Amino acid sequence: MKLLFVLLVSCAWTLIGAQNYYQALMDYLENRLLAIEDRMQMWHDHAHQYHTEMLDFKKLTSEAMAGLKNDHSMIFKDLEGASARVNLMERELEYVETQNSPRACVNMADKVIEQEAWGLQERDAVEVEDDWEELQSRVSDCVEIISGFRSVKILKRIGSHKGMWTRDPKSSKVYIFNGTSGDTVHEFKSVRDFSRSLGVMGSRTIHLPFEWTSPGSAVYDGYLYYIKQKTDTDVQVVKYDLRSGSVTDTAMFPMERHASLYTLNPETVADLAVDDEGLWLLFTPTDSEPNISVAKMDTATLDIEQIWDTRCPRDNAEAAFVVCGTVYVVYNTRLASRSRVQCVYDVNDMMVSEEAPLLYFPRRYGAHASLKYNPEEKQVYGWDDGYQIIYRLTMKRKLLA
């Protein structure tokens, strides 16, 4: 009996134990589930938070992007404004350059005239006029100097890098010299014909009996004057009748071998120029002579009437031309930059030194191979890196005039 009781009690204990055990397991599982639920809730909360944070971030970045875009367009506008201002300033600078130009070359003769001018101004105006009448009849009636550039016209680009073109002041005909030497010249009826032509099509091709050397020719009243260099020592000026097609005269010049007039255009042995007073020859007697000489020539006989040393250096000279008996020498640098008239020489000694301008040429493509003045139109025909350009000039009277 006692044994049965013990068995029953132990059995009951076992049952109770099992029940306890299951209860504990259930509790445990329930707790785990709650914990998982909690964690899921937490994850959910976190995900939600991330999502809102993402949205906020997106909003922020899009705002920042819009701001940046705005800034960019503002900077762009600022830049545009700045570049416009730079352009304006450049133009103003150019203007100032042409207006208040320091003189590069002041010659002794000019200084004397300058003093005379001050002396004259203090005297009676009528007396000055009387003095002037006398002086004018003694020298010439051409009393203008260049004061600036009125306009630039780029006609077209034909031919090679170097060359020259010019217009006969006494007719409308235009002459093209392609390259730095040759035996042909192209003649157009007018500047308009030339600008409308395709290359040299439609022009009259003139075959010369002797080759021209140097882009230094001149055309005046139906005659072509050009430089001929048979050997290194024999330099001649040839006068050629463009109407009859024959050589009417030649004149010899004693010039040293390999001498070239402008150091930036070594192909130019000598340069012929036409102005209101006639025909001029710009040359250098020897290659060791540092300055440019100018000779006044008789157009009929090719005789030299007078020679002057301009005291304008050949070094860094690009071209030169003569206006009203005044030689204007144009300088540049070896790496072509802005061409400028930096030395002026008046053969009549009529220019007051203050008047001699430092003139900057308007923007260009490369370097001038030649510059030819036309006294009738008061403009310069330039050959710039193969481009044919017309510079229209503004003139003023010399102070003594």
3-state secondary structure of 296: strand
Read off the amino acid at residue 51.
Answer: H
CB of 259 to ligand NAG, least distance (A): 14
Q: Candidates 5-13, 56-64, 157-165, 220-228 — which segment interacts with ligand NAG by CB under 6 A?
A: 157-165
User: What is the secondary structure of 85-134 as a DSSP string?
Assistant: HHHHHHHHHHHHHHHSPPPS---HHHHHHHHHHHHHHHS-HHHHHHHHHH
* Residue number with CB closer to ligand NAG (179 or 222): 179
CB 347 within 8 A of CB 323: no
Residue 290, interface with ligand NAG (CB under 6 A)? yes
3-state secondary structure of 65: helix
CB of 186 to ligand NAG, least distance (A): 7
Residue 158, interface with ligand NAG (CB under 6 A)? yes
CB of 175 to ligand NAG, least distance (A): 13
Q: Candidates 41-49, 153-161, 317-325, 359-367 — which segment interacts with ligand NAG by CB under 6 A?
A: 153-161
Residue 286, interface with ligand NAG (CB under 6 A)? no
CB 274 within 8 A of CB 375: yes
Strand arrangement, sheet containing 218-220: 218-220, 223-229, 234-241, 246-254
CB of 293 to ligand NAG, least distance (A): 9
* Sign, CA torsion 144/150/156/158: positive
For residue 224 the two structure tokens come to 């072509």
* Residue number with CB closer to ligand NAG (342 or 348): 342
Residue from 101, 105, 346, 371 that binds ligand NAG (CB under 6 A)? 105
* Residue number with CB closer to ligand NAG (311 or 378): 311
Residue corresponding to tokens 């002579």: 289
Q: Site mask, ligand NAG, residues 185-224, x = CB under 6 A?
A: --------------xx------------------------
Residue 164, interface with ligand NAG (CB under 6 A)? no
Q: For 44, how many CA atoms within 13 A lie in the half-sphere containing its CB?
A: 6
Residues in 294-313 at the binding interface with ligand NAG, rule: CB under 6 A? 309, 311
Residue 341, interface with ligand NAG (CB under 6 A)? no
CB of 385 to ligand NAG, least distance (A): 13
Name, in order, each residue with C-beta under 8 angstroms of 148's C-beta and a sequence gap of 6 or more.
98, 99, 357, 359, 393, 394
Residue 178, interface with ligand NAG (CB under 6 A)? yes
Residue from 291, 304, 316, 387 that binds ligand NAG (CB under 6 A)? 291
Measuring CA to CA, which residue among 206, 138, 197 is closest to residue 168?
206
Q: Candidates 61-69, 152-160, 208-216, 332-340 — which segment interacts with ligand NAG by CB under 6 A?
A: 152-160
Residues in 221-280 at the binding interface with ligand NAG, rule: CB under 6 A? none
Q: For 213, how many CA atoms within 13 A lie in the half-sphere containing its CB?
A: 18
Read off the amino acid at residue 74.
Answer: M
Residue 281 to residue 308: CA distance in whole angstroms: 11
Q: Candidates 154-162, 240-248, 255-263, 355-363 — which segment interacts with ligand NAG by CB under 6 A?
A: 154-162
Residue 325, interface with ligand NAG (CB under 6 A)? no
Angstrom CA distances, 236 to 39, 285, 299, stand at 110, 13, 14
CA dihedral 146, 151, 155, 159 (to 10 degrees): 40
Binding site for ligand NAG (CB under 6 A): 105, 158-160, 178-179, 199-200, 290-291, 309, 311
